[in-house]
Amino acid sequence: MSQQPQTIQLSDLPHRTPARLTEIRGGRHLTRRLLALGLRQGSSLCVVQRRGQGLVLASGDARIAVGSGIAEKLWVTPEAPHSGCVTCAQDDVEQVPDSEHLGLTS
């Protein structure tokens, strides 16, 4: 008996982990917005940058910024990296700690 792959919220996807968009838990308006941005059920993507609670996604040649509310409505299945996957590997984006991004000092 094969085990089903684990589906997680996009907001919980580790940085630079390839994944496939498996479910959009939002209404038609959100689905249409995502389609206009090039994201649909079955799209391959990865998180290339985290800014505060927002995310920048790589999907093919596109870079798409989403807020935390949308990230919580998107469910993905993490995938093992493969040799042909350049979506996540081609971006060299520095991660910025939340406190630095917000201009806070310790």
**Per-residue pLDDT tens for 59-80?**
999 999 999 999 999 999 999 8
Which string of b and e fits 65-97 if b means at least 16 CB within 10 Å? ebeeebbbbbbbbbeeeeeeeebbeeeeeeeee
Predicted TM-score of the model (pTM) = 0.75
The residue extents of the domains of the chain are 9-92
What percent of the chain lies above the pLDDT cut of 90? 67
Q: Name the CATH superfamily housing domain 9-92.
A: Ferrous iron transport protein A (FeoA) (2.30.30.90)
User: Distance between CA 72 and CA 27 in Å, rounded?
Assistant: 13
pLDDT band of residue 47 (cuts 50, 70, 90) is very high
Cβ-based neighbour number of residue 6 at 10 Å:
8
